[in-house]
Structure 1
Amino acid sequence: MKQSLGAKTLLFPTPALMIGTYDSAGKPNLMNAAWGGVCCSEPPCIAVSVRKARHTYDAIVERKAFTVGIADEAHMAEADYVGIASGRNADKFAIAGLTEVRSELVDAPYAAEFPLVLECRLVHTFDLGIHTQFVGEIIDVKADREIVDEDGLPDILKLKPLVFDTAHRGYHSVGPLVGKAFSVGKRFM
């Protein structure tokens, strides 16, 4: 029998997304956001939710663009730092030792150290309560060659993305393949 836990943000897992923006002065910033994910296939879009009080909020509204870096195990401390420090009073790239790369496609930066990056153009904004959801059309995806498989796509085990445990506020990594999607369920057809 299940027990009620009440209305909580308990979804497992959530990603550790590194949201890259430029503020009004052109200063690069990164924010760690767990509230996000793919929200449309055609056109390819991702949604991220940001509190209005965050430095990143105004930057996305003003620049109409953001990047989404996928944090990996090797950069867990840097990913955590950009989520606990404010870009209003810290140069997160410099302090964390991350290399700023200016996107050639959207008005936003990303950190070279994160092995997978989505470059996004803002297409929708939804006020949800204390968070605003920003929907960005994915203009391009950039991946380090080391994580790309023979099929030309990222290999999740080479990427080693961080996932966030909303209940215990911890980072985890992914494990081996346990089944092929759109295949294992065919036994019920």
Structure 2
Amino acid sequence: MHVVPGLKVLYFGTPVVLVSSLNEDGSANLAPISSAWWLGQSCMLGLGNNAQTTANLLREGECVLNLPSSAMVGAVDRIALTTGKRAVPDYKVEQGYRYEPDKFAAGGLTEQASDLVRAPRVAECPVQLECRVVSSRPFGVPASHATAFEVEVLRAHVEEELVIPGTHYVDPLGWDPLIMKFCEFFGGGRSVHPSRLAEGWKMPHRRPSVTAG
């Protein structure tokens, strides 16, 4: 039997992406998002209008989409409730967000120079996609609260062990992306780490306790 619960969020399951971009002063910002999908050599991103990353993409016109594996969940969770915006909006303060000027250090991650864009890559991520912004537009109803970005992938960096030998394809059995479902972290079809984001957003859940990795 189906019910009509009036769902407040529709995050049924998408890959986590660490978006690296440049701040106005040239320092690097890093933001975990889960509103991303790909088609061909293009990707669509959804970012809140109050995010530092949104301002950076609109100004710089480029970024790197770093895809963490499920084994990187601890690093992602450490920066989940941080923002590169000095003036943290009140609603984010209530959710537990804090200003963090060096998210790479906060997450225990390493900056790696990119080839075609100024924003750095995340060295630990098995997949890194250098991108340029093609277009942007307001997103959301009834009032726009986010920005939809179309980006073009200029260059893809992939760990050699994930590439099927002799091809240009990633081995789907070897690649275990970190997935977010309703603000909870999943990998290999199972819950892999308690989520600070779920706590901050007061997301209800029914699942057994998991051990932090």
TM-score, normalization by structure 1: 0.83
Report whether the alignment pairs 1:138 with 2:153: yes
By how many angstroms is 1:86 displaced?
1.3
| Partners of 1:64 and 1:107 within 8 A in 2 | no
Given the alignment, which residue of 104, 120, 127 partners 1:93? 104
Structure 1: which 5+ runs fail to align? 176-189
Question: What SS does the corresponding residue of 1:142 show, helix, strand or coil?
Answer: strand
Report whether the alignment pairs 1:51 with 2:48: yes
Name 2:171's counterpart in structure 1.
155
Between the aligned partners of 2:67 and 2:131, the Cα distance in structure 1 is 14
By how many angstroms is 1:47 displaced?
0.9
Given the alignment, which residue of 62, 68, 80 partners 2:59? 62
Given the alignment, which residue of 68, 71, 77 partners 1:71? 68
Identity %: 26
Structure 2: which 5+ runs fail to align? 86-98, 190-213
Deviation track 1:119-164 (CA, whole Å, cap 9, x = no partner) reads 1100010111211011101111110112212233222332211111
What amino acid maps onto 2:33 in structure 1? A
Name 1:17's counterpart in structure 2.
17
Report whether the alignment pairs 1:110 with 2:121: yes
Q: 1:7 to 1:158 in 2, by over 3 A?
A: same
Between the aligned partners of 1:117 and 1:145, the Cα distance in structure 2 is 12
How many pairs are equivalent?
A: 170
Question: What SS does the corresponding residue of 2:174 show, helix, strand or coil?
Answer: helix
Between the aligned partners of 2:130 and 2:5, the Cα distance in structure 1 is 37
Between the aligned partners of 1:2 and 1:140, the Cα distance in structure 2 is 44
TM-score, normalization by structure 2: 0.74
